[in-house]
Amino acid sequence: MGLLDLPLEVIDEIISLTLPVGIESFALSCKAINARAGPQIKRHNAYKRRWRHALIVGNPQVSALRAIAEIADDSLAAEYVESLHLRVPNTVMAAHGGGANIQQPHAHMQKVAALVAASAIDQQLRIDPSEWWEAIENESTSEPMSPTEYSYEDSLFTTVALIDHLPNLNTLQLSPAWSDFQPLQDAHQEQTQKLGAILDALVENANRYPDSNIPLSRLHTILPFMSEGYEERAGLQTLLPFLELTGLKELFLISCLAVDDNYTGIPFRWRSPDAVSSLTRMELAYCCMDADGLSQLVSHTPQLQVFRYSHQTKWHGCQHDWNPGTFVEVLARYCGKTLKDLAITIDDLFGEIENGASSFLSLPHLVYLEVDVLIFCGPPVESGQRRGMAGSPPTGQKPWAPIDIPCIGSMLPDNVVEVQINTDFPEPDESALRALLKNIRTQRQERLKKLETVVIRQQDANSGQVLADESGVVLDVFDVEGAPRSMMPNWKRQFEQRVGGIHFT
């Protein structure tokens, strides 16, 4: 018996079962099925408009609860959610007019409790569902600070309960409240242990059944959940469970820390020496990491191809002085065989460059490089000199000066195609920039045969044009009205265009 010989009600049921991922291809299989699938295609399109990009606006805990309640009423809705955004200002919803309308509290909380109780994770962990539900109930439903501003505090268990019911989620933006989850520093706390156990079970299940109908098995990208700023900070450790997902490939973050200084930093380390991350792209804007923190991170990312980082001194002067020289050495040590795209720039540095970057030759596959002149403005690591509060005057050596910076051409591997250099020209960068460009013409002619583009970029002026012409490079003037200096790097503007999230405080 052929498909079209089946009773119409059976065909209708088959069409319904193809929702959400299979209906479009199934409807195109023949004209008869396409005609019969009309109502279901209309339903499918309505679900996509409403749920594909779920935006949690207003009070996050109340809104997440309402989303869970709506899923309890209609489980098919959960299968349509591909991206979940828990850090969305009300203005974003108004501007885009899309996403799930989950702004108001839901009256039928018993439905939420029943859905939480039915979770397979509860059974796997042998957790009393009432304990999880009690944690959700105890989380704050804070009154709004204003008609459009809400506290993000106390929504962690509710967030996990929502994620636990989204099998096709591939993009996740957490709320700023997620920074309260610190599985290393607060490992002894009961609530941290409970939340960590639930997350670990979700991750273990997702890794066991990749590309399945298991929550988190399709998660591909994590988006920024913090704002930029001196007082804005979240430990990278807050994402530890997610970083162990085998399907996670892209990480975009703002204001994350990986510094273990026993004072102002927040340390990062993998929980197991055998942990392996599948990340291929990391873009970390307005972040604060030292070489040790970076080493902890990238020593477990063997597939990393893109690493873009901008440094910002954080609360209480965390990384007041910074060392891009050792930073680049760490990348060469652990990512030298895979890294193709590298950006290192500086947003705010209150102190000095301890050691400047002096070579990228240990990154032989590098194709694209973007840097600030400032990352070179310190003695190279191999000199034995060091600047900053922890530095000391050289003994029997000539103190380092910007004129000692080598030509950037001599630092580059011969595979590089494009280099962009952001400069505060003429002051304080003129001497350093001249040193970087002094032999670039010769290097391009003799060794860097693939180097197509070298750009120097300055803000709101073209006073570097003469130097650019002398060096045979392109001058780009960054003159975006109202944009701060930290947005001058090309990669930062690409970051904002692609994923957004750069909210200035």
Q: For the segment 474-493, what is each residue's pLDDT rounded down to a tens digit?
A: 999 999 988 999 999 999 99
Average pLDDT over residues 169-173: 96
Q: Note whether residue 407 is domain-resident.
A: no
Identify the weakest region by mean pLDDT among 62-71, 242-251, 423-432, 465-474: 62-71
Q: What is the pLDDT of residue 15?
A: 58
Q: What is the pLDDT of residue 423?
A: 98
Q: What is the pLDDT of residue 403?
A: 95
Residues 442, 142: Cα–Cα separation, whole Å: 64
Say if residue 101's pLDDT is above 50: no
**pTM score, whole prediction:** 0.89
Average pLDDT over residues 298-315: 98
Residues 384 and 324 in one domain: yes
φ and ψ at residue 223, rounded to 5 degrees: -100, 165
Q: Note whether residue 217 is domain-resident.
A: yes
Residues 387, 90: Cα–Cα separation, whole Å: 46
Residue 402: DSSP 8-state: G
Name the helix (H) or strand (E) containing 285. Answer: strand 281-289
Q: Strand, coil or helix: what is 27?
A: helix
Q: What is the pLDDT of residue 352?
A: 97
Q: Strand, coil or helix: what is 377?
A: coil
- The domain tally of the chain equals 2
179-236 pLDDT, tens per residue? 999 999 888 888 899 899 889 999 999 999 887 789 999 999 999 999 999 999 999 9
Residues 131 and 108 in one domain: yes
Do 76 and 21 touch, CB atoms closer than 8 A? no
Going by their DSSP bridges, the two strands 171-173 and 83-85 should be labelled as parallel
Q: Note whether residue 134 is domain-resident.
A: yes
Residues 128 and 25 in one domain: no
> Where does a domain end: 391, 410, 438?
391
Residues 8 and 92 in one domain: no
Residues 11 and 103 in one domain: no
Residues 74 and 133 in one domain: yes
pLDDT grade, residue 132 (50/70/90)? confident
Q: What is the pLDDT of residue 282?
A: 99
Residues 13 and 138 in one domain: no
Query: Exposed, middle or buried, 16 (CB in 10 Å: 0-12/13-18/19+)?
Result: middle
> Where does a domain end: 342, 374, 391?
391
Q: What is the pLDDT of residue 408?
A: 98
Q: What is the pLDDT of residue 37?
A: 61
Average pLDDT score, the chain: 86
pLDDT grade, residue 9 (50/70/90)? low
Residues 129 and 99 in one domain: yes
Which domain, by its residues, includes 42? Answer: 3-50
274-306 pLDDT, tens per residue? 999 999 999 999 999 999 999 999 999 999 999
